[in-house]
Amino acid sequence: TRNDGFEYPEALGTIITTEMAIYDLPTLEKELGEIEMSYVSEPQNDYQKLMRKRSNVVLNHVAAKHSEKVISTIALVPDGGNYK
């Protein structure tokens, strides 16, 4: 192995997964969302508790209103793929 003086930085703290961060957000599968919505559960982890310190509601959780053509195109994209 090569020893060129590189030192790995110390860990900054607990790793936060995407699931941990968004698990308590309302789903938007059949609706576009609203400017203000309720959380779907009590906080499940320390990160969610931290994010709720200044607000007990979800703000601006709104999806784009896509046309039927765009929805059909999105449906053709395989998991992990892209539109090209």
Give residue-wise pLDDT tens across range 17-60: 999 999 999 988 777 888 999 999 999 999 999 999 988 999 99
Q: Give Rg (Cα) of the chain.
A: 19
What range defines the domain where residue 22 resides?
18-75
81, part of any domain: no
Phi, psi (degrees; rounded to nearest 5) at 58: -90, 125
Whole-prediction pTM: 0.59
Residue 61's Cβ-count burial label (10 Å; 0-12, 13-18, 19+) is: middle
d(CA 46, CA 42): 11
Q: Is residue 8 part of a domain?
A: no
Q: How many domains does the chain have?
A: 1
- Whether the Cβ atoms of residue 61 and residue 25 lie closer than 8 Å to each other: yes
Report yes or no on 82 lying in a domain: no
The answer as to whether 6 is a domain residue is: no
At residue 3, the pLDDT reads 66
Task: Please name the amino acid found at residue 51.
Answer: M
Residue 10, domain member (yes or no)? no
